[in-house]
Structure 1
Amino acid sequence: MKETKVIVIGCTHAGTAFITTAKKLYGDKVKITSYERNDTVSFLSCGIALHVGGVVKDPQKLFYSSPKILSDLGAEMKMRHEVIDVDTREKKVFVKNLETGETFEDSFDKLVITSGSWPIIPNVPGKELSGILLSKNFYHAQDIVRYSKDAKKIVVVGAGYIGVELAEAFRHNGKEVVLIDIADRILAKYLDKEFTDILERELSEKGIRLVLNERVERFDGENGQVKKVQTNKSEFEADMVVLATGFKPNTELFKGKLNCLENGAIIVDEYLHTSHSDIFAAGDSAAVWYTPTESYEYIPLATNAVRMGTIAAYNLFENKIKYTGTQGTSGVKVFSYNVATSGVNELLAREKGIDYDVIYAVENNKPEFMPEYEPVYVKLLYRKNDTVIIGGQVMSKADVTESANTLSIVIANKMRIQDLAFSDFFFQPYFNKPWNFLNTVALKALEKINLNN
């Protein structure tokens, strides 16, 4: 059997997962060359705030692989090499060695696009000032730690997961922190108001100034260093600014060559082929099939990336394993609260025109006869016409976040409210109640639903 030439563009989570799996499956039958413009692989950017806050002392522990590990598996790791063009018809890539400036071409039988994503940078005056930082890769983490040591006043732009986690880390370090978002709530893409009201109060009580429903319009500086952040309503002093305003796919090379969403995320089929049968895409460069809405969406998560990279390897030569999609399941810790969500929230349900209903409940995580127990805030979204569950959110000072994984499976399998209400969960007073809180909230929803219709 002729050796198959496989080129991998980018090597963070999806690329690492693909290479690891493909070499285990096919060994010397595949010649894998990875072109990565950085000199690291597999960095867990979700750990940046943990490093900044001192929870993870050594940032090297945020890597779970390395170029050497992948080389030892038999892959040719071309670090500090950037793919600058791709000819999908002739199956060629054009590469620049970022160390020497040399350019050359390479050919492939199969191409795997795992080029990831990059932070969205607001196009406002002053964005080039020193002290305005991003939060994505290992080098960003180092910059944030270095700059924040001497900074007293830090502004974080964007109140998604990364922004909220960084604001908390900076506050733990004794900094004055302002958290700005254009939305009128923090974490608005993930959680509904019942949850964000509590979390906003928590952040404010811990000393973080929340500036919501305001848009950053300008950064002002002195001697090239940022000093002020100007919004459409306010002005804030800043020794340092972190931009955490979301991500976009690194797919400019494939515009007009492969089918993509409007934002550039590459559309893949259920076996992760792009519109070119010998080209795969996985991770943050790809659109994902979002099961609650049955539509292609852009949901950059490390969990999606490692699954997709692994599945692409299995399907390299024949279609063996379907990628069944994602529920966008995710979680965050905000000071004393543990939060997790799966599927749609009300904001997205309305955007998608779904005729839905909700049920919200507050239930204790253990029997009240136990010496300690905590309230659990639970919300379910379900379609009115068939009671199929399409979203769920959980929050507590107790760690109940694993229940979001249960909700993910519930949503993936299109279970109904009545199915969840009577699902079989174990009971032990140290852990839960005879009716699990997921049962309880679903039972409460049944009171609203007329099952005779």
Structure 2
Amino acid sequence: MKIAVIGSTHAGTAAVRNMAHLYPEAEIHVYERNDNVSFLSCGLALYVGGVVKDAQELFYSSPEELTAMGIHVHMEHDVSSIDTDNQTIDVVDLNSGQKRTDAYDRLVMATGSAPVVPPIPGVHLENVLLAKNYNQANRIIEQSKKADRITVVGGGYIGVELVEAFQEAGKKVTLIDGENRILNKYLDKEFTDVVEEDFEAKGIDLRLGESVTRFEGDGTIQAVHTQNGRVETDLVILCVGFRPNTDLLAGQVDMLSNGAITVNDYMQTSHPNIFAAGDCCAVRYNPTGEYTYIPLATNAVRMGTLVARNIMAPQSRHIGTQGTSGLHIFGLNMASTGLTETTANMLGANVKSVTIHENHRPEFMPTSENVHLKVTFDPDSRRILGAQVLSKADVTQSINTFSLAVQTGMTIDDLAFVDFFFQPHFNQPWNFMNKAGLAAFESREHATV
């Protein structure tokens, strides 16, 4: 059995390492256009900000490790086309320029995602940079040392983390986003308001609800223009989103309208000999039951592992995702899972919510921080559909509990009486998650009186 794997970041690395262990007799080939494997891009801002000193700590594998496992590793090799009828791939050695055609019995697409580069005039000026891979991270570090004014375009996770890193490095930072608030895909307005107030208090210039119309410069970026004015800058980082990198299979397997490959519960595409995993794929989103595009490292590692387990025969089902994620910014800890009211409205889903403000531990303790928790649920079935939390205390693990609640179909009323431990160092006699359930339970009782 000859298995070809295209791409070796999270999904590809997980797939080949597990396949090498499960099927030692298989001939496994991995093709990677970059000069490294398994870069943890979620640590990019930590690396740029100097929290991570040694970049090697952001790699959890290497070409040498994969080779030692018996895997045929083709670094700096680009797959230029795929013939799904004849089960061959055309490969280019990026160093020598040599071309060849390789055959496969099973193909694994782990090509990930690519940063969206908006077609804005001047976008290709020097010092307009992307933030995705290891080489781009090094470029950001190199150029930011010489920049006093830095503009970040895009207020998602990577964008706000870079804003924090640059502000703490003493830079004058501007954040531009076409949406009216930051982190809108992950948190409702009452949560993002807190973060935005903190940003403004630290001197960060928030240009929200503004779209970039052009980049100005004579070879090198000098200013960013929006419909509301001009921002002088020495460096721009584009963080406006990602698109699935699936052009190689366009028209050959089923995809969503954005190009994300659809797979069954066993990571198999519409072509029986082709599997896919990671940011190139759509995943089943449990709060709605629909397939959607959620590019997260956690999804990629799980899917890559499942590809390995299922590539010979269906064995282990993918149980879907809640899109669970977390963030630490300027001392604030926040996390979310499943539907927020914002995303529910975008999808046309009918939800109710309950909000709790609760000190994370008793007031007799030396310190106690407020916890802001919001839980969304189906008003008919009462099934929990999502949750968000924000606090200076790190209570983000509660969101993993809510992820499990969504996964298993727990109701908001069940949550009221779940057995959570109490210890004054950590929490209250009634855990704040219990209190969310109790509040929803009591509001239901009042509604029926």
- TM-score category by the smaller chain? over 0.9
Equivalent residue of 1:427, what SS? coil
Aligned with 1:449: secondary structure?
helix
Hey, what does 1:225 align to over in structure 2? Answer: 220
- Give the secondary structure class of the aligned counterpart of 2:443: coil
Residue aligned with 2:152, SS: strand
Q: Which amino acid aligns with 2:73?
A: M
Q: 1:17 aligns with which of 10, 14, 18?
A: 14
Q: Which letter does structure 2 place at the counterpart of 1:8? A: V
1:401 CA displacement: 0.8
Q: What is the DSSP-based 3-state SS (H/G/I as helix, E as strand, rest coil) of the residue aligned with 1:257?
A: coil
Aligned to 2:65: 69
Please name the residue that 1:319 is paired with: 314
Please give the alpha-carbon distance, in whole angstroms, between the structure 1 residues aligned to 2:241 and 2:433. Answer: 31
Equivalent of 1:239 in 221, 225, 234? 234
Aligned to 2:193: 197
CA distance in 1, matches of 2:211, 2:413: 43
1:208 matched to 2:214: no
Q: In structure 2, how many angstroms separate the alpha carbons of the residues matched to 1:435 and 1:72?
A: 52
Question: Hey, what does 1:303 align to over in structure 2?
Answer: 298
**Alignment-mate amino acid for residue 426 of structure 2:** F
* Pairing partner for 1:177 from 173, 176, 187: 173
Matched, 1:5 2:7: no
Cα offsets for 1:257-292 (capped at 9, x unmatched): 000011100000001100011110000011011000
Report if the CA contact (8 A) 1:52-1:144 is conserved.
yes
- The one-character-per-residue Cα deviations of 1:419-443 (angstroms, maximum 9, x if unpaired) are 1111111111111111111111121
8 Å contact from structure 1 (residues 339, 396) kept in 2: yes
Query: CA–CA distance in 2 between the matches of 1:355 and 1:142?
Result: 45
Q: Distance in 2 between matches of 1:447 and 1:226?
A: 57
Letter in 2 for 1:395: L
Residue 256 of structure 2 corresponds to 261
1:452, distance to aligned residue in structure 2 (A)? 6.5
Please say if 1:284 is aligned against 2:279. Answer: yes
User: Deviation of residue 448 (structure 1)?
Assistant: 2.1
CA distance in 1, matches of 2:229, 2:266: 49
AA paired with 1:67? P
Match for 1:196: what amino acid? T
1 CA distance for matches of 2:94 and 2:201?
A: 47
How far apart are residue 301 of structure 1 and its match?
A: 0.4
Matched residue, 1:30 = 26
Q: How does 1:390-401 map to 2 (within 5 A)?
A: 390-401=385-396
Q: How far does residue 69 in structure 1 lie from its aligned partner after superposition?
A: 0.5
Q: Does 1:136 align with 2:132?
A: yes
Shift of the 145–383 alpha-carbon distance from structure 1 to 2, 3 Å rule, reads: same
Q: What letter corresponds to residue 329 of structure 2 in structure 1?
A: V
* Structure 2 match to 1:149: 145
Match of 2:444 in 1: 449
Q: How does 1:327-366 map to 2 (within 5 A)?
A: 327-366=322-361
Amino acid at match of 2:13: T
Q: State the AA in 1 paired with 2:10.
A: H
What secondary structure sits across from 1:169 in the alignment? helix
How far apart are the structure 2 equivalents of 1:448 and 1:261?
Answer: 40
Whichever residue aligns with residue 421 of structure 2, its letter is: F
C-alpha separation in 2, matches of 1:60 and 1:207: 33
Provide the C-alpha distance between the structure 2 equivalents of 1:299 and 1:356, rounded to a whole number of angstroms. Answer: 21
Say yes or no: does 1:410 pair with 2:376: no
Q: Is the 8 A contact 1:154 1:176 kept in 2?
A: yes
Instruction: Please say if residues 293 and 352 of structure 1, whose CA atoms lie closer than 8 Å, have aligned partners that are also in contact.
Output: no
Shift of 1:150: 0.9
Matches within 5 A, 1:15-164: 15-27=12-24, 29-164=25-160
Query: What is the CA–CA distance in structure 2 between the aligned matches of 1:448 and 1:278, rounded to whole Å?
Result: 52
* CA displacement, residues 85-135 of structure 1 (integer Å, 9 cap, x when unaligned): 001111111111111111111111100000000100111000010000110
What is the alpha-carbon distance in structure 2 between the residues aligned to residue 52 and residue 38 of structure 1?
20
Structure 2 CA distance for aligned equivalents of residues 298 and 425 of structure 1: 33
3-state DSSP of counterpart to 1:378: strand
Distance (whole Å) between structure 1 residues aligned to residue 13 and residue 422 of structure 2:
40
Query: Sequence identity of aligned pairs in percent?
Result: 50
Q: What is the CA deviation profile of residues 146-178 of structure 1, one whole-angstrom value per residue up to 9, with x for unaligned ones?
A: 000010000000000000000000000000000
Query: Which whole-Å CA distance do the structure 1 matches of 2:225 and 2:437 have between them?
Result: 46
* Amino acid corresponding to residue 317 of structure 1 in structure 2: M
| Amino acid in the other structure paired with 2:156 | G
Q: TM-score normalised to the size of structure 1?
A: 0.98
Cα deviation for residue 447 of structure 1 reads 2.0
- Structure 1: unaligned runs, 5 residues or longer: none
Q: Cα RMSD over matched residues?
A: 1.0
TM-score by length of 2: 0.98
- Matched residues, number: 448
Q: Which whole-Å CA distance do the structure 2 matches of 1:188 and 1:384 have between them?
A: 23
CA-CA distance at 1:345 after TM superposition = 1.1
Unpaired segments ≥5 residues, structure 2: none
